[in-house]
Every structure is written in C-alpha cells, then in structure tokens.
Amino acid sequence: MRVNFTVNGRPQQADDVWEGESLLYVLRERMGLPGSKNACEQGECGSCTVRLDNVPVCACLVAAGQAEGRDVVTVEGLAEFAERRDATAPGGPEQGSGTGLDEARRWQPGPGGSTPLAPVQQAFIDAGAVQCGFCTPGLLVAADELLERNPEPSDADIREALSGNLCRCTGYEKILDAVRLAAARTGEEG
Amino acid sequence: MDFLRPAGWREALAAKAEHPTAVPIAGGTDVMVEINFDHRRPDVLLDLNRVAELTEWEVGERTVRLGAGVPYTRIIEELRTELPGLALASHTVGSPQIRNRGTVGGNLGAASPAGDSHPALLAAGAEVEVESVRGTRMIPVEEFYTGVKRNALEPDELIRAVHIQKAEGPQQFSKVGTRNAMVIAVCAFAVALHPRTRTVRTGIGSAAPTPIRARAAEDFLNAALADGGFWDSGAIITPSVARQFAELCAGACNPIDDVRGSAAYRRHAVSVMARRTLGWTWQAYREGNGRTVQCA
Amino acid sequence: MGAGPTPGKITQTSTATRGAIGESTLRPDGTLKVTGEFAYSSDLWHEDMLWGFTLRSPHAHAEIRSVDTAEALAVPGVHAVMTHDDLPAATHYGLEIKDQPVLAKDRVRYHGEAVAIVAADHPETARRAAAKIKVEYAELPPVVDEATATAADAPVLHPGRADHHAGHVPHPNIVHRQPVRRGDVIAARTRADVVVRRDYEVGMQDQAFLGPESGLAVPAEDGGVDLYIATQWLHVDRDQLAPVLGLPADKVRLTLSGVGGAFGAREDLSMQAHACLLALRTGRPVKIVYNRYESFFGHVHRHPAKLTYEHGATRDGQLLYVQCRIVLDGGAYASSSPAVVGNAASLAIGPYVVDHVDVEAIALYSNNPPCGAMRGFGAVQACFAYEAQMDAVAAELGMDPVEFRQRNAMSQGAVMPTGQLVDSPAPVAELLRRVKALPMPPERQWLTADDSTDVRALPGGLSNTTHGEGVVRGVGYAVGIKNVGFSEGFDDYSTARIRLEVINGEPVALVHTAMAEVGQGGVTVHAQIARTELGVSQVTILPADTQVGSAGSTSASRQTYMTGGAVRHTCQAVREEVLRRGRERSGSYHPAWATAELLLEGGKVVTDGGEVIGDLAEIVGEEPIELELEFRHRPTEPFDLETGQGFGHVQYSFCAHRAVVEVDTELGLVKVIELAAAQDVGKALNPLSVVGQIQGGSTQGLGLAVMEEIVVSDGARVRNPSFTDYLIPTILDTPTIPVDVLELADDHAPYGLRGVGEAPTLSSTPAVVAAVRAATGLPLKRVPIRPEHLTGT
C-alpha cells in the first residue's frame, strides 16, 4: 500500500508498504530516517519514541497505515521542531509549513543545516548523558516533550516521564543531569 | 494482509461485518507487538484511529460512557474525579508512550487476564457496549471475559464504549510487578466503595484465567460492614474483618505458576493488596474523601 | 526513495578539539548521536540490499533427521536458503575452542541454535520463507546441570574433544577446571572459632544492550566481502570468519559501524558469518538485524553459577581459610568459558588476605544457552557469594561487617591465593571507609513537602502497592576485585597508527585504531591522549577497521589501558621523530635542542622551562609523520592446572558500594534508595566518562540483584526472551548513585590508570542484597531476589 504523512514538517510518501509494517520500519527503511531506534519493537524500551500529532508514542507500535495523513516528528527533526516551537510560543509548534514534495525528497538529515541543537540535545552532550547512544534519540524526544509540558520538572517528574525509556549504559544519573541542565538553561533564557 | 481505514463508526461496523476475521487496531500496543514478533498474521487489519466517536466520552448522571478509543493518558488527566480507580489503573499501564496510545477498548479486546483496566472496571461496575451491523448489546463486564484472552464479542462485533459507574466513594488500585515502572502485572487488585448502595466491589487481575470479582469477599464484607453499622459510624474496620476480607480475596484466585510469579505468591499478594487498599479507601471514606495520595 | 546511511557514509570521522587527559571532555560522536545521524549497524542501507533471516531450533537438544528447503526456495522474493550442507569451507568457529557450528548439522544443542538462513527482498518474505523450511527433529534428553552433565549415562555433548582443556578435565562435559590451592585449609579449619558454610546461586543475566545484533555484508569485486558490523573485536571476528568463508584474511574486511552497547555480548560472532555467507552466495549486499526476541538467542549470557563457600575465622575477626567450589554453566558451546573459569577461581575469595585457600572452579557443557563474556566476567558470581559470606561471618562474630572486611582487606604488597604479589595500590579498606562515611538519605523520603505520599519513591513505584505500610529500610556494603586486561599468558596487545600532518597551516593528528567504540568513550580518550602527547589542538579519529593492526577486544576493562596505551606509545614515537627532525634542522641554532626534556605543547616545541624553541607545523611541513606501533602490557603466565599458582593477571581494580534499600516486607518488593560507590581508577583520563562507567556498571549489578534473569526451564527452553519479561532497571528503579573516585597511580600502567568498566558491576549486587538482608533478616542466597524469596511463597 501507499502511505503519505508529514515527517519533520515535510510531506513524505512511501510505496509498496507491507500492511504489517510499523511506522518505525517505514521511517528507518523507506524514508532514510534511521534516527528512531529499533531496540525492542514491543513498546518496552522507548528507543523509537517519536511525536505523532504532537503526542510521544513508540513508532514500533504504530502501524504504518495508521500514520496516514498525520504529522510525525523524529529526532532528526527535533532541533528544528524546538526552534519553531520557541519562535511560535506560546501557541505551540506550527505544523506542516509548506515544504514541497520535491524538496522533501531531496532533504537529507545532516549537519549541513543551520539549525542549532535543541536545548535538550546540547544538554545530553554536555552532561555526559550519551554513551552508546542507542537510547538517546527516544530519550531526547521524550525529554523535550516533558520540558514543553513542564518547564521546571522535579526529579520525580523527570523519572516518571522517562520511565518508558530504557538505558543500559549510564545508570540514568547523567540523563537526569541533562534534563535538569536543559530546564535550567531554558529557564535562564526565558 | 489488507489494511482497512474506516472513516467513521458505521463504516467500521460494515467492514467488520464484511471481514469477520479482521483484527481491530487502535493504539496498537498489543496487536503490533504480535505482528512485530511474528506471533500473528491477520488477514485484515481494521484501523480504528480515524473513528472520531471512539475517542470521546460522555459524563452522565450515574455513568461515564467512555469511548473505546480514549487513550489512558486522557483518563488519567481528565477523568480522575469520575473514574478514580480506572485512572489509577491507567497510570500503571506500560510507559507514558504506551499510555498515550493504549485504550480501555483495546484492553477489553485483548482480554488478557493481566490487562490493567479490568480490575478497576470490575470494582467500579461497568457494562461493555458492543455493536455490529445487527445492533447493539450491553454486556456486564463480568460476563465479558470468557477465558484466557477470550471475550464475549461475536466475530462481527466491535467495542463501541464502556459504561462505567461514576465513583460515589473512594476507589483504589494496586498492582504488583517486579519493577517500579513499565511492568506487566504479576497480579492486581481494585476496590471501590459504593456508599449509596452500601456495598464494596472488587476486581482481581492476573490471578485467574480471567479477571474476576472476589464475590465471597464482597458478600462477607458487605454483611460485616452492615452488621457493625460501619457505614454510619465511619469507625475503623476491625482488623479481623479486614483480614478475613483479604483472605477471601486470596481465596477467590485461581492463579498459575509462570515466569512472572508463583501461584502462591499471587494469592499472598492479592491478600496484602486487598487489606491495604480496603484500608486506604475506608480511611478516605471516614475522612470524607479528604486526603489524597499523590500517585504521580 | 533512498533510505538509511549507506556504507560509504558511515565513515564517522570525528574531529575533537578540546581536552587533554584528566579533563572532562565531551564525546566527539556526541552531536551525531543526539541528532540521530550516528549510523549504527542496524541503520545501514545499500542499493539492492537483501534481508537475511535465521531459522532457529525450537528444541534444546535434538537430532536433526532431515532438512527440506525446497518450499522456502520457491517463495517469490527469496534469493538463497542455506543449511549446513551449503557451507563452503570451515563449519565451526569459536573464540578459543572451535566447537560452534555455523549452522547445525545433525544435532542441535541449545534452544535457538541456528539451523538455516534465508536471504530475501523483504524481512517479511524472509520470515515467511523460513517458516516453510521443514526440519525433522528427534528430541534428546537435555543436559541441564552438573548432575545431568556428569551422570554415568550422560550424553557427551562434544564427542572427540581435542581442545587443550580436554586432557585435564574430569569429564568431557566439563569445559575447563581450575583449582587454586595455597596453605593448608585442613589444618586451618581446626583453629577456626567460627565456620560458615553456605550454598549460593546466581541466575543467568543478559547483557541486554539496546542495539540488537546487526550488520551489512557487501560482496566485493575481488571475491572478498566487506562487513559493516557492531562488534567488540574486529580482528578476532575476521579471524573466525575467513576460514568459514574459505577466504584469505585480507579479503574479509571489517569496518566498525555504530555499536549500541556491548557488555560482553558482542565478543562472540552472532550474525557475522550468516550475513557474509548469504552475500557471497547471492552476490548481493545482505543485512541482518535481530529483533529483541532473537537477540536473546543471538548472543551468550552471563554464566549462571552454583557456589559453595566455607569461611573460617578467629574470634577476633581474622579470616583463616576459605574453601569454595564454583560451578559455572557454560551452556552448549565453549565461548569464553575457560577464561571465565580462570577469573572465578583466581578471584574467588575477593580482595582479602587469606593464607589458606582451596578453590575449585569448573564450567559445564550443557544444553542451556551458551554463556560467555559479560561485564565482570567470572568475578561477579564469586563476589556475590564471598561478600554474602563476609556478612555472615561478621554476624557470627558479632562484628560490624565493614570493620570485619577492613580487618581482612588486602593492600599493596599482599599476596593473592595464586601467589601473585599485588604490586600497586589496593585501597580496599579506604574505599569501604569512604562509602560508609557518606551521610544517609533521609528517612521516609517518600513524603513530599506537603506531607503527602509520592508512590514513585516507594517500593512498587507507580503500581501503588504501598503508602509506607510494611516498608523497612536496610543498608548493605560490599567490595570486589576484578582483573584488568587479558590474563593467563595471553599475548594481549593493541595497535595504533598515528599520522601527524599539517592541514591549513595547523598541525593535526589522525588516530587510526581498530578499537571498538561501544559507548565507553574510548574515542574521546584517544583524542585526549593525542592532544596531550603531541601538543596539537585538532585530532581526527578515523573509523575503526581491519586496515590497521588489532586493538584487541573492548572488554576486560582494558581499552583505555591497551589502546589508550598504544595511542600514547605511538604518539611518543611520533614526538621523537618531530624532535629528531627539529634537532637536525635547528639544533645548531639553539642549545636547548640538546636537552632531554622537550615537550610538545600548543603546537610548539617547548623546554621543560617553558621556552618555545620550535613550531610543530613548521617542523612537520610537507612531510607528514606516520607510524603504526603495537603496545603490550607486561606479560602474564598461565595458572598451574593443579595449584592455580602463577602471575596470571596484569592489574587489579577495586570498587566498593553502600546500598540503601527500602523493602516492602509484606509484598517482597524492593526499592533501592541510594547506591553509593567508591572506586580507585589510578588516573581518571576523562572524569566525566569514569563516573558514567561506574554509575552504569553499578546499575547493571542492581539489575542482577533484584530483577534480571533469563529463565530456562521446561526442557532447557528460554522462557522469557523479551523486554516484557526480561526486566532491566528503568529510571524509576535506579537510585541516586554518588561516586567517589580515587586516583592512586599504578606505576605499571600508562598514566598510572586502572581499568574502570567492570569493578562497579561486581560489588553493587552483593551490596544491594546485603541491604535487603538487613531489612528482612532473610538469608537470601540466590540472585536475582524475587518477591517469592522475601515472602516465603
């Protein structure tokens, strides 16, 4: 089947999608966006967390066909998403800002763009919250959404919001540090 | 495999009538796991995400008609007052990401004895509204579960909504798992006080082939509370009564040994949870529902 | 539409520009990892790529009567189906003993063993085709433990063994046996005032890295193959693959792709041979990605163990003797079982001084899942038991458990039971003192400021099982000893190629090694070392591959020591060449060139007095300096097969923990409130990474203590191969982990450093269990602790 949806603000299309494929598979294998990770494919690790119509979900548990016509934000688009959110605050992020299909097809994830890292991305680097990095994309999407909802989370709030994201390397301490750091920096700016 | 995307409820019912083997998918939190792990290859997937009616609810005088597709997160955030037990249970489901997608309708459709919403529905009192092109049926939730991962749905039926009694007294939900988050129930227990009818109802998960009520325990407690005038006096429930209630709840279980826990532990844990949750709800009743516990 | 990074794009050359050794330095791959651009092995994509899939045995022990692939081959979209009969060359591989079939022939020996492989144009096509392969099995009774392995009528799992352990083991179903004997235990026993003898058990732990096994094999025009792979040791993969593929080693080229964690599970081959075989058979690139279910069958696990310990002590708290027997279950194939046995035996009594020791450690062959390397490698199982014993003996003596440990703690100059002198700092008593001196977390920490209950801070967490009822606090301590580097006479070395050149007028160091960066931060440290030794600000880390000499394995806490050592060693040789050139050109102009102590700093040649006498870019000029050198640690020797005596280990590392737990004693649920660690790291090259390693290692130990176990039962079948039922700690299970880092230099090691990664995984488990014992008064002789153990159900 054919599936059309918006990813990181750009319309995307995939053909010959097997009906049992997940959104995660389509993103990774058909759209050149492997940032969302395939660690468990059963909703028990959060590594594939994306925003689906703004809501954090496990992309492995969304059937590709269910994404038809929806907006998806992945870690590859997180910096831009955060920048647009800040630019349009408090109304929330502006969605689907008219990128043509051709442009979307040419678009590649890459450092070439001028978009700086989202605060939470920079904080993960600075706090040493990244080791192997496989859990990082999902954690970033989840942590960014937490800070969008709750700019000054308590440690317990952070732990609860990230309780669906497994990390096997860090023991989570530096992930907590990173989220606190991102919150503090955002607070200073605001 | 076919993938059907009905745009509305009528269309969904027609599709289900035409493809009785179609597997409905809403949040995907059960169905997609089975597909990803090659445990299931349905002929047809019936996507219910586009059926807007399913994600709505109506708060009536006595009940909440909860659309089958309302995600747990919305129950936690928006229905805590009307459905406190279900909100507590919803909060123990999987992870935030799972709670954003998973639904009570899906939990009922899967009918796993470990489904987190079942004990809360049993304790609160609920009926499942199922529908097909042939018409609508209301099935008391107790009768909905017919076996391990089996339910009372006919092949052409879909779950439209659940009618859950609005809380008129304190409710609680506890679940034992071997992790502090994101864990499948080893066993679970729910209790709801119904001061209007002066009854207490229970629900037990993962301790029998289906979710169950501990009816003997309820009968015992209802009689003991009535005989002792507890509803009027608001006195502390006698420890021996609470103990007996807990033991009867454990006695209602018919659990198995599996990798998640032993049968003996499940019985034991149900008795502990029954005693504790009864204590919490009764304390809240005595205090006029004052103290709340921040369950995150 | 093109998808995924192609192999050509995965050369994740990273340039880092700040941070010398000793400074907390940020990862050069950090930006790629937070933007989703870092190409892990499962992210790779190639034009015309096929998907490989593996058919696995549903039985733990069975004869294969027949395999019929005709129907599978007929499925449209299928390009190849291969069984044992299609193998072109060597049919077995293995790290030390080549006993593992590439594909099972006439017998399967564990649940999940690979039987056939399929290549198809879509993963679902490959799965459906594999389901059409008809395999006729005749089940055999499984060997599941020591009794069934050594029974009179036990089936011999590997008949006709010719490996170098075969001659000295008491039974062919025992992979290796290592005794360690010192002093006279029998005589010492008569002098003991207190004797404690107990049995312990450690369940099978999984590494549970988050990035499942995966890789992409691309057939090359020269008849060889290029494999892009997540592994721990590129060269040992290549050396096992080449014979299986029937190719010379130089036609099997491996490049490291992004690795989603390892922890020992990538030391053995998984899908490497299968992907290469299918690629060579089809002439197309083949990608294999395991899902989480398959991953549990795709790699070795931590050896489950049964241990019997007897400790004897005098009334005043001096340990007199330790006798113990450690039975490790190695499962169906040897993997690294012999080395795990060597560690378990030589480290069996812990970081204590005991004159009389009698240890026996064995590893079994069985029909359980193969076990091999996991962080802590043989020392974890022993540490759980000996630390439980230390608490038990202290209790018998009525002594404080920390004081009892300190009284018997080893220090520099102590002699190990193997006779090896501990010739560098061993601050065991000091580490314990430090964790004990920390303030305690507040009581009833689940109460919020407004006196309400936050269940997230209670046992059971979000599941709302207690509001404080039944909750009892306990505190426990433990300390452990781990060897660093490969032991027992292994020729352990690493290689670094360093190129110093001038780019845009700036001196730049290029570092090329085959070190597998698995998340530990070796790439950061290499850049720090190059900056420090060469005085440059720009360092480029080239992708790891087999085009440079071996770096050895990213395991045994050895890479900072070994490949870090190789980078340092080679940089120093490059520096000598810089100075030689400088002296040659400018020596007659400035007398300082003749002095010995010249340094490279800030792109200049400076004297130890700080005087600048030359410019690096100018000296290097148009003639880059490039050197590739090997680095070895001091040699070790094998343990004597009867006495276990020998200078077997390169270096020891020590970590101590204090665990504070709260236990719901009625429901048997545990919440770890704080897990404090103190560790001697010799020299922290990157303090930020060091702390991260200690916290991560501690958390894996916590997991083993309270939740992690692969359950094998019902005919040696794996019962919980998923993240639904194999549970690892979430952020709500993991407490605050304060870390106290000591830096007491080991003069034998580069910069005085001590390997960090593994030691924290040892003592964390027994500390948590000791705390739960303190809270419950139960003996708790098995990990992971289950609610059943705490509630008597």
C211-240 pLDDT, tens digit per residue, is: 999 999 999 999 999 999 999 999 999 999
pLDDT value at position A90? Answer: 58
Please check the confidence at residue B119 and state whether its pLDDT lies above 50.
yes
Facing residue for C667 by CB, picked from B181, B272, B296:
B272
Please check the confidence at residue C117 and state whether its pLDDT lies above 70.
yes
Please check the confidence at residue C561 and state whether its pLDDT lies above 50.
yes
pLDDT value at position A88? Answer: 77
Facing residue for C33 by CB, picked from A32, A109, A133:
A133
The percentage of chain C sitting over the pLDDT mark of 70, rounded to a whole number, equals 98
What are C334-387's pLDDT values in tens digits? 999 999 999 999 999 999 999 999 999 999 999 999 999 999 999 999 999 999
Facing residue for B259 by CB, picked from C706, C719, C787:
C719
Residue B186 at interface with chain C, using a CB cutoff of 8 Å: yes
| Residues within 8 A of C (CB atoms), A 68-127 only | 74-76, 78-79, 105, 109-111, 117, 121-122, 124-126
Taking every pair of C-alpha atoms in chain A, what is the biggest distance, in angstroms? 48
DSSP string, C472-533: EEEEEEEEEEEEES--TT---EEEEEEEEEEETTEEEEEEE--B--SSS-HHHHHHHHHHHH
Contact C467 B280 (CB under 8 A): yes
User: Which residues lie below 8 Å from residue C705, measured CB to CB, with a gap of 6+?
Assistant: C764, C765, C766, C768, C769, C772, C783, C784, C785
> Is domain C146-205+301-379 annotated with CATH 3.30.365.10?
yes
pLDDT value at position C13? Answer: 59
Facing residue for C462 by CB, picked from B181, B184, B272:
B181
Residue B39 at interface with chain C, using a CB cutoff of 8 Å: no
Contact A56 B27 (CB under 8 A): no
Asked whether residue B180 is domain-assigned, the answer is yes
Please check the confidence at residue B295 and state whether its pLDDT lies above 80.
no
Domain count, chain B: 1
Interface test with C, best of A173, A175, A180 (most C CBs within 10 A): A173
The CA–CA distances, whole Å, from C362 to C110, C488, C783 equal 20, 16, 20
Chain C: nearest CA to A121, how far in angstroms?
Answer: 6
| Residues within 8 A of C (CB atoms), A 146-185 only | 156, 158-160, 162-176
What are C411-445's pLDDT values in tens digits? 999 999 999 999 999 999 999 999 999 999 999 99
**Which residue from A minimizes the CA distance to B41?**
A20
Overall average pLDDT of the A102-123 stretch? 65
Please check the confidence at residue C1 and state whether its pLDDT lies above 50.
no
Tokens 């691309």: give the residue. Answer: C218
H or E stretch including C438?
none
- Residue C583, both tokens: 């002296």
pLDDT value at position A105? Answer: 44
The 3-class secondary structure across B127-143, one letter per residue, is: EEEEEECCEEEEEEHHH
Asked whether residue B243 is domain-assigned, the answer is yes
What are B68-85's pLDDT values in tens digits? 999 999 999 999 999 999
CA distance C369 to C304: 10
CATH, residue B272: 3.30.390.50
Single out the residue of B223, A61, B283, A66 nearest to residue C723, CA to CA.
A61
pLDDT value at position B29? Answer: 97
Kindly tell me the number of DSSP H helices and DSSP E strands found in chain B. Answer: 12, 13
Where are the strands (E) in C665-716, listed by range? 669-680, 712-713
| Residues within 8 A of B (CB atoms), C 227-286 only | none
Contact B294 C707 (CB under 8 A): no
Facing residue for C469 by CB, picked from B276, B292, B293:
B276
Overall average pLDDT of the C21-25 stretch? 94
| Burial of C187 per CB tally in 10 Å (0-12, 13-18, 19+) | exposed
**Which residue from A minimizes the CA distance to B6?**
A66
User: Which range (A43-52, B142-151, B287-296, C619-628) has the least confidence?
Assistant: B287-296
Facing residue for C724 by CB, picked from B175, B184, B264:
B184
Contact B41 A160 (CB under 8 A): no
pLDDT value at position C35? Answer: 97
What are C499-519's pLDDT values in tens digits? 999 999 999 999 999 999 999
Which domains occur in chain A, in start order?
3-106 (3.10.20.30), 119-189 (1.10.150.120)
Assign C7 a pLDDT band (cuts: 50, 70, 90): low
The fold for domain C493-632 equals: Aldehyde Oxidoreductase; domain 4 (3.30.365)
pLDDT value at position C299? Answer: 98
B35 interaction partners in chain A (CB closer than 8 Å): 20, 22, 63
Q: Give the chains touching B; criterion: ≥3 Cβ pairs < 8 Å.
A: A, C
What are C692-707's pLDDT values in tens digits? 999 999 999 999 999 9
C462 interaction partners in chain B (CB closer than 8 Å): 91-92, 180-181, 295-296
CA distance C430 to C413: 16
Q: Which amino acid is at C772?
A: V
Q: What is the mean pLDDT of chain C?
A: 96
Asked whether residue B183 is domain-assigned, the answer is yes
**Which residue from C minimizes the CA distance to A30?**
C3
Chain C: nearest CA to A9, how far in angstroms?
Answer: 16
CA distance C793 to C791: 5
What are C643-688's pLDDT values in tens digits? 999 999 999 999 999 999 999 999 999 999 999 999 999 999 999 9
User: Which range (B116-125, C589-598, C715-724) has the least confidence?
Assistant: C589-598
Overall average pLDDT of the A127-146 stretch? 98
Structural domain for B205, as ranges:
171-286
Tokens 């993991």: give the residue. Answer: C734
Residue B68 at interface with chain C, using a CB cutoff of 8 Å: no
* Cβ atoms of residues C357 and C322 within 8 Å: yes
Asked whether residue B76 is domain-assigned, the answer is no
Q: What is the mean pLDDT of chain B?
A: 96
pLDDT value at position C14? Answer: 61
Contact C39 A34 (CB under 8 A): yes
The CA–CA distances, whole Å, from C465 to B94, B149, B201, C239 equal 16, 25, 18, 53
What are C385-404's pLDDT values in tens digits? 999 999 999 999 999 999 99
**CATH class held by domain C437-475+650-791:** alpha beta
H or E stretch including C36?
none
CA distance C566 to C557: 15
- Residue B83, both tokens: 């459905």
Strand partners, C427: none
Contact C787 B264 (CB under 8 A): no
Where are the strands (E) in chain B, listed by range? 2-4, 23-25, 44-47, 57-59, 63-67, 126-132, 135-140, 145-147, 150-151, 158-165, 171-176, 187-194, 199-205
H or E stretch including B118?
helix B117-124
Give me the residue spans of the domains in chain C. Answer: 146-205+301-379, 437-475+650-791, 493-632
| Burial of C449 per CB tally in 10 Å (0-12, 13-18, 19+) | exposed
pLDDT value at position C597? Answer: 86
What are C32-83's pLDDT values in tens digits? 999 999 999 999 999 999 999 999 999 999 999 999 999 999 999 999 999 9
Residue C186 at interface with chain B, using a CB cutoff of 8 Å: no
| Residues within 8 A of C (CB atoms), B 81-110 only | 88, 91-92
pLDDT value at position A128? Answer: 97
Please check the confidence at residue A111 and state whether its pLDDT lies above 80.
no
B92-116 burial code (b ≥16 CB/10 A, e <16): bbbbbbbbbbbbbbbbbbbbbbbbb
Asked whether residue B116 is domain-assigned, the answer is no
Please check the confidence at residue A114 and state whether its pLDDT lies above 70.
no
Please check the confidence at residue B49 and state whether its pLDDT lies above 90.
yes
Assign C590 a pLDDT band (cuts: 50, 70, 90): confident
pLDDT value at position C586? Answer: 86
CA distance C475 to C413: 31
User: Which range (A110-114, B98-102, C4-8, C505-509) has the least confidence?
Assistant: A110-114
